[in-house]
């Protein structure tokens, strides 16, 4: 495995899909929010690879997109699970503060995921055998499990607190890559604060 030290950087092209995947929890329609989260989560890997001038093969894309947490995983009992998910999502839309907490937590997770994916690509962790890609994907999952109390949560709360009309914003970005006031505000807040977390991000990178 390569051990190249790659410094943190803020680049909207790397963090845009991560941000939208996190903000999807604010969409007031159960299952629609889940769809947009799934959509932008899957777009992340290809978008980050493109930004790094890379084209990942299909097995690598599938491995990095494989859900290890079980949140979006299908199963034989998916109709029952779908009903359960709908009811749970509906309750969170009724109690909107729960949706806000979910969005904050999701932003925190997806920002970490975007940072780590970018690092893995720039450091060359995905340039070798499929077995090493699997190990890298497992390491990514393990690190994400330990980020529940990161300093990024404060910024996530700030971004979520300024969001308006999230469904329309995500739809415009998905269809035309158009930045409305909500997207521009999120981008600006992240750009201004990202440097505050440089030491933290450096700590996530192995020596």
What's the pLDDT tens digit per position in 4-37? 555 567 899 999 999 999 999 998 887 888 899 9
- 50's CB contacts (< 8 A; 6+ apart) are none
Of 106, 104, 116, which is closest to residue 21 (Cα–Cα)? 106
What's the pLDDT score for residue 93? 66
Give pTM, 2 decimals.
0.83
């790094």: which residue's tokens?
Answer: 52
Of 152, 164, 163, 161, which is closest to residue 190 (Cα–Cα)? 152
Q: How confident is the model at residue 167 (pLDDT cuts 50, 70, 90)?
A: confident
């999701």: which residue's tokens?
Answer: 106
- Give the burial class of 164: count Cβ atoms within 10 A of its Cβ; 0-12 exposed, 13-18 middle, 19 or more buried: exposed
- Mean pLDDT calculated for residue range 171-186: 89
- Mean pLDDT calculated for residue range 186-190: 95
List pLDDT tens digits, range 125-156.
898 889 999 999 999 999 998 888 899 999 99
């Amino acid at each position: 495995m390569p051990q190249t030290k790659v410094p943190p950087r803020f680049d909207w092209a790397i963090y845009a899909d991560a941000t939208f995947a996190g903000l999807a929890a604010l969409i007031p329609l159960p299952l629609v929010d889940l769809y947009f989260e799934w959509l932008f989560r899957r777009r992340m890997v290809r978008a980050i690879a493109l930004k790094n001038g890379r084209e990942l093969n299909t097995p690598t894309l599938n491995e990095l997109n494989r859900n290890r947490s079980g949140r979006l995983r299908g199963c034989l009992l998916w109709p029952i699970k779908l009903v359960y998910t709908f009811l749970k999502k509906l309750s969170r839309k009724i109690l909107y503060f729960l949706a806000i907490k979910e969005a904050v937590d999701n932003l925190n997770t997806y920002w970490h995921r975007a940072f780590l994916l970018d690092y893995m690509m720039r450091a060359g962790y995905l340039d070798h055998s499929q077995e090493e890609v699997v190990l890298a994907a497992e390491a990514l999952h393990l690190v994400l499990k330990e980020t529940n109390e990161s300093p990024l949560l404060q910024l996530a709360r700030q971004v979520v607190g300024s969001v308006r009309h999230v469904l329309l914003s995500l739809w415009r970005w998905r269809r035309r890559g158009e930045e409305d006031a909500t997207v521009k505000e999120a981008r600006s807040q992240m750009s201004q604060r990202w440097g505050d977390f440089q030491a933290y991000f450096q700590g996530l990178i192995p020596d």
